[in-house]
Amino acid sequence: MSKWTSLAFVALAACSAISSKDGVQSSMPTTPLKVTLATATPGGGFPVYGAAFKAAIEETDPSITIETINTKGSAENVPLLEQRKMDLALVQGEAAYEALAGVNRNGPADMKILWAMYSSPGMFVVRADSPYRTIQDLKGKTVAWGAKGSGLVLLAGYTLDPLGLNRDKDFTPVYLDRAGDGPAMVQDGRAAALWGGGLGWPGFATMADSPGGARFIVPTKEEVARITAKHKFLKPITIPAGSYRGMTQELQSVGSWSFVFARTDLPEETAYRLARALHKAEPALVKHLAAANESTAANTWMAPADRATLHPGVARYLREAGIAR
């Protein structure tokens, strides 16, 4: 081996050994990478998260481009992944549970988890001057459940069933073409309540910030126990005081985790590269969307009910970064 060849070899080895703070080698590909991300209807939480996801990744790694695409929500996003029409898609917790468990379909969904989004506690919101204070008070009333394809609609069904209530029979249901249309229906009296979920959810923020203010309705402590006893995949989730304007006390409801899913055949190196960029982008993601503070590598490892549902490229990154222990 010549002197110059030896020097080149040493230099190359030194470059390869350079590690970032996450313990993963920093010599990652910088070739342009473009992926598509399916979100949901405008006015809901998914498009807002999708915009923050795109901005945070592209700021952290300019070689990656995310194309966000509005869809009808979780119910459409799962088949879009299975049909290889999207690279990534946002899927709400209950929709993810049903898809991976093979509920109402021929078998488990063909998709893998790329990243944890956030936990989604389900709640009703009403006008502050309304007489409604409990879920039972809303029985027989008009409720805007959200967009028909939204996973939040599924969450409503799972929340009400253990309480002896049927989403479509015990209420006058309204399903929206646009999730953002719900607050106006409650404010002008066309609906008694709006159902939604999550911290920072746009519909809740619109209601809370309205001149008349809003009040949130969640299951009672006894109702939470009944719901979680029947549906093990639902967990008690605390909504901190101050999460929305006028919310002076913490509330407790039930919910599950929403995830960014990938098509199963997304190349392992692509998933690895995205996971690494997302881990580095965690501060930027929170800067763009405060409610994304749960969207972390640590939660991506801890939140799935079955870690076999993680994309292999993501699992490899989490192991190499020292997060998967």
Give the lowest-confidence range in 154-163, 196-205, 244-253: 196-205
Give me the residues paired with residue 34 across strands: 65
Q: How confident is the model at residue 30 (pLDDT cuts 50, 70, 90)?
A: confident
* Residue 14 reports pLDDT greater than 60: no
N-term to C-term CA, the chain: 42
Q: For the chain, how many residues are written?
A: 325
pLDDT > 70 in the chain, percent: 91
Q: What is the pLDDT of residues 41-59, one digit of tens each?
A: 998 889 999 999 999 999 9
Given a cut of 90, whether residue 193 has pLDDT beyond it is yes
Q: Among candidates 279, 227, 32, which has minimal Cα distance to 121?
A: 227
Domain covering 23-119+258-320 in this structure, CATH number: 3.40.190.10
SS (H, E, C) 116-165: EEEEEEEEEEEECCCCCCCCHHHCCCEEEEEECCCHHHHHHHHHHHHHCC
Q: Determine the CATH number of domain 120-256.
A: 3.40.190.10
Residues 6+ apart with CB under 8 A from 137: 131, 217
pLDDT of 12 reads 36
Overall average pLDDT of the 246-269 stretch: 96
pLDDT of residue 146: 86
Q: Give Rg (Cα) of the chain.
A: 22
Task: Map out the domains of the chain as residue ranges.
Answer: 23-119+258-320, 120-256
**Structure tokens belonging to residue 257:** 């985790």
What pLDDT was estimated at residue 139? 98
Q: Is the pLDDT of residue 236 over 50?
A: yes
Question: What's the pLDDT at 26?
Answer: 52
Instruction: Say if CB 212 and CB 128 are below 8 A apart.
Output: yes
Query: Mean pLDDT, to the nearest integer, of 238-266?
Result: 95
pLDDT tens per residue, range 207-224:
999 999 999 999 999 999
Tens of pLDDT along 170-185?
Answer: 999 999 988 789 999 9
Range 27-48 burial, b when 16+ CB lie within 10 A, else e: eeeeeebebbbbbbbebbbbbb
pTM of the model: 0.75
Lowest mean per-residue pLDDT among 83-92, 196-205, 285-294: 196-205
CB 168 within 8 A of CB 13: no
Residue 320 predicted with pLDDT over 80: yes
Rounded average pLDDT over 111-122: 95
Please name which of 107, 64, 110, 63 lies closest in space to residue 86, comparing C-alpha atoms: 110
* Cβ-based burial of 96 (10 A; exposed 0-12, middle 13-18, buried ≥19): buried
